[in-house]
């Protein structure tokens, strides 16, 4: 299985007055604009058959919707396992439950960085991975979907995705 990890685009700063529930915090106008460009480049690298799974948080759903616009009507599927407050083990369970060869996960930091680190180096990794807002990575599991069993295929910051044609 190839797994494409996408961190949500730039969102508004935390503000308990405007968004008492942080899961409701949306993308900024600039975040939407920049990710639209990045999504055009990223969509070219994603297999047509890839399923698009997203955190239920507003900023991740909005990011997934922008990516879906560039993927011929693919509908994002909300998955509670990708919420910002979930343990990485739940993301592994989600991946094991999927039958597709290609899966796109749209989520948050530090969750995605921890998932990437665990997938590459095992359950107690010392890897520190900086996952930029709107950035993406691709890992591949050739056998079991377990910590330490993935291979990193690529990782690109958002400015590189915006430069792709």
- Whether 127 has a pLDDT exceeding 90, the answer reads no
Angle at which helix 88-97 crosses helix 111-121, to 10 degrees, equals 70
- What's the pLDDT band for 74 if we cut at 50, 70, 90? confident
Looking at residue 130, its pLDDT comes to: 85
Looking at residue 134, its pLDDT comes to: 96
Give the residue extent of every domain in the chain: 2-163
The fold of 2-163 is Rossmann fold (3.40.50)
pLDDT digits (tens, 9 = 90+) for 87-113: 999 999 999 999 999 999 999 999 999
- Whether 165 has a pLDDT exceeding 70, the answer reads no
Of the candidates 62, 111, 63, the one whose C-alpha atom is nearest the C-alpha of residue 85 is: 111
pTM: 0.95
**Bigger pLDDT: 86 vs 123:** 86
| Residue 67, SS3 per DSSP | helix
- What's the pLDDT band for 44 if we cut at 50, 70, 90? confident
Q: Please give the C-alpha separations between residue 124 and each of 87, 143, 147, in angstroms, as whole numbers.
A: 13, 20, 9
- What's the pLDDT band for 125 if we cut at 50, 70, 90? confident
């Amino acid at each position: 299985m190839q797994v494409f990890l996408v961190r949500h685009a730039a969102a508004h700063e935390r503000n308990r007055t405007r968004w008492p529930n942080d899961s409701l915090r949306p993308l900024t106008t600039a975040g939407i604009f920049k990710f639209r460009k990045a999504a055009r480049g990223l969509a070219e690298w994603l297999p047509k058959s890839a399923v698009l799974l997203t955190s239920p948080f507003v900023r991740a759903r909005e990011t997934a919707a922008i990516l879906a616009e560039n993927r011929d009507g693919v509908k994002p599927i909300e998955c509670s396992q990708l919420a910002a407050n979930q343990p990485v083990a739940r993301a592994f369970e989600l991946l094991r439950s999927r039958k597709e060869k290609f899966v796109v996960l749209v989520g948050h930091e530090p969750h995605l960085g921890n998932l990437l680190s665990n997938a590459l180096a095992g359950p107690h990794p010392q890897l520190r991975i900086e996952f930029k807002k709107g950035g993406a990575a691709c890992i591949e599991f050739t056998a079991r979907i377990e910590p330490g069993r993935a291979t990193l295929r690529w990782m690109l910051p958002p400015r590189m995705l915006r430069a792709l044609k």
